[in-house]
Amino acid sequence: MIHQYKLGDYNIVLDVCSGSVHAVDEIAYDIIAMFESADRRTVLAAMGEKYPQVSLEELETCYEQILGLKQAGKLFAPDTFEPMAGKLKQKTAGVVKALCLHIAHTCNLNCSYCFASQGKYHGERAVMSYEVGKQALDFLMEHSGTRRNLEVDFFGGEPLMNFQVVKDLVAYARSVEKEKGKNFRFTLTTNGVLVDDDVIEWANRECSNVVLSLDGRKEIHDKFRVDFAGNGSWEKIVPKFQKFVEARGGRDYYMRGTFTHANPDFLKDIEKMLELGFTELSMEPVVCAEDDPSALTEADLPVVMEQYEKLAQLMLKRDKEGKPFTFYHYMIDLTGGPCIYKRISGCGSGTEYMAVTPWGDLYPCHQFVGEERFKLGDIWNGVTNTQVQDEFAACNVYAHPECRDCWARLYCSGGCAANAYHATGSVTGVYEYGCKLFRKRMECAIMAAVHRALGE
Amino acid sequence: MEHIKTIETRNLCESAKNGGCGECQTSCQSACKTSCGIANQKCESK
């Protein structure tokens, strides 16, 4: 399977199964489009008609080049991966390598678009105790097999509302990781309200990554990200985030924004983030019910698509000006990215990744917390709801019938199970709106990678 | 005349032979938390 598209100044041909990417001229682009459906003579005759100024010899040369790529497995490579789809999960069955610790099911902001319903996840407000958190870390170490790198994300709600427990848990993990042969990588996700020098110093020492929530322009951010009195948080958090990021001294961070129906023109928000001095950026489409006023609509779709293209152009322009920035979804490493096992295995939720509630219950991921049917078990007894876990274990890219014909399937691995469930009622469904955005992002990311690879 | 420029990429078919160590990051763990993208993940064994 191939995917052809034109973007920027490029005609791009992606060979889906080999992962090969080709930048081609118009003639090659047209020949490739016909290559599998017509014989050589028909193709050359059609090209002779379309390009009368090009000699038959030249057209034949181009045809031969394409044939050569096919023979080398770099064009029209077949999908032979399906039998391997469950193998990685089988091999690592029972192994957990990442936990999302819901350290606080409460928040000091009241963002109406929050998928976690202001941190409460449709339940009671609560904070995780040290004992529960410690047991969660022990559970992770015990169930991580030979896996050395263990990821733990402090999430909420707002985790800094329970900062002492966060610090104590990290101290505990550091005290045992060496003897257990593990390496913890901590991430803190925060809305910034409680960020102070103590938090900055601690996070820069202990967290391999921090995710800082900022939606961009003040008027956009303050539309949703308000406190319980309705006051916007932008003025309060931006100086803190600037200080935080400066103090990180090159360690990973993301400014993470959400865009909604209120700002499908989110490029302006990205530009605001850049203006504020932030360069590691992530901007995500809102996740909410279709009838929510902040939900993206069909009418927003062309606007959003155009924004993604303009974002890629802005990225390349800033490269040239020596002011590069990173957009999370445009990070693509064509030479060193994930292997095929990773690409077909699905996202890992419910198997290698789980979320832990303040009470120690296990869920397939943070987005399923509060959906009682998906409760997997708890950190004391492990996974007891094997039926739900099996559902997630089987949720690889080939489990989604719609993905079979999609060229982007090896870039999303079948997509987000929570999005699929909320859109269709099944974790093996697909959230088509999200797929459209994802495909556009991948087209842009690949185009930017081509531009960079060609040194243009 | 050069009609095709092939960009250097990891050969996915080849990666079937030596991949699958599973050390890589869980898919949406670090930044977005609301979608699944794997193309932007680092391979830990390369």
pLDDT in tens, A203-248: 999 999 999 999 999 999 999 999 999 999 999 999 999 999 999 9
Does the distance separating the beta carbons of A22 and B5 come in below 8 Å?
A: yes
How far B33 CA sits from the closest chain A CA (Å)? 8
Residue A57 has pLDDT above 70, yes or no: yes
Q: Rounded CA gap, A43 and A114, in Å?
A: 53
Q: Rounded CA gap, A175 and A421, in Å?
A: 39
Residue B46 has pLDDT above 80, yes or no: no
pLDDT for residue A417: 93
Band the pLDDT of A403: cuts 50, 70, 90. very high
Residue B27 has pLDDT above 80, yes or no: no
Residue A33 has pLDDT above 90, yes or no: yes
Does the distance separating the beta carbons of A84 and B31 come in below 8 Å?
A: no
Q: Would you say B34 and A419 are in contact if contact means Cβ atoms under 8 Å apart?
A: yes
pLDDT for residue A194: 98
Q: What is the mean pLDDT of residues A336-365?
A: 92
In chain A, DSSP finds a helix count (H) and a strand count (E) of: 16, 15
∠ CA A248-A249-A251 to the nearest 5 degrees? 65
Band the pLDDT of A176: cuts 50, 70, 90. very high
Band the pLDDT of B5: cuts 50, 70, 90. very high
Among A200, A201, A173, CA closest to A186: A173
Q: What is the DSSP string of A216-253?
A: SSHHHHHHH-B-TTS-B-HHHHHHHHHHHHHHHTT-EE
Q: What is the mean pLDDT of residues A346-351?
A: 89
Q: What is the mean pLDDT of residues A254-276?
A: 97
For A333, residues 6+ apart whose C-beta sits below 8 A from its C-beta are B39, B40, B42, B43
Q: Rounded CA gap, A281 and A212, in Å?
A: 10
- Per-chain mean pLDDT for chain A: 95
For A87, residues 6+ apart whose C-beta sits below 8 A from its C-beta are A341, B20
Among B5, B6, B24, B28, CA closest to A342: B24
Q: Rounded CA gap, A162 and A216, in Å?
A: 26
Band the pLDDT of A276: cuts 50, 70, 90. very high
Q: In the block, which residue shows the tokens 């399923």?
A: A368
Q: Which of B8, B18, B25, B27 to mutate to test the interface with A (most CBs of A within 10 A)?
A: B27
Q: Rounded CA gap, A309 and A323, in Å?
A: 19
**A81-95, A143-157, A280-294, range with the lowest pLDDT:** A81-95
pLDDT for residue B29: 61
Tokens standing for residue A206: 């202990």
Residues in chain B closer than 8 A to A214 (CB atoms)? none
ipTM of this complex prediction, to 2 decimal places: 0.93
Q: Would you say A97 and A353 are in contact if contact means Cβ atoms under 8 Å apart?
A: yes
Q: Would you say A455 and A320 are in contact if contact means Cβ atoms under 8 Å apart?
A: no
Residues in chain B closer than 8 A to A342 (CB atoms)? 19-20, 22, 24, 38, 41, 43
For A419, residues 6+ apart whose C-beta sits below 8 A from its C-beta are A287, A367, A431, A434, B34, B35
The structure's pTM equals: 0.94
Band the pLDDT of B20: cuts 50, 70, 90. confident
Q: Which of B10, B26, B39 sits opposite A411 (nearest CB)?
A: B39
Give percent of chain A with pLDDT exceeding 70: 100
Left, alpha or beta for A73 (phi > 0: left; psi -120 to 50: alpha)? left
Using CA coordinates, name the residue in chain B closest to A99. B29
pLDDT in tens, A351-392: 999 999 999 999 999 999 989 999 999 999 999 999 999 999
* Inter-chain Cβ pairs, chain A and chain B, closer than 8 A: 221
Q: In the block, which residue shows the tokens 């069955």?
A: A93
Higher-scoring residue by pLDDT: A108, B28 = A108
pLDDT for residue A257: 95
How far A381 CA sits from the closest chain B CA (Å)? 23
Angle between helices A417-424 and A432-453 (to 10 degrees): 150
pLDDT in tens, A317-334: 999 999 999 999 999 989
Q: Rounded CA gap, A207 and A184, in Å?
A: 9
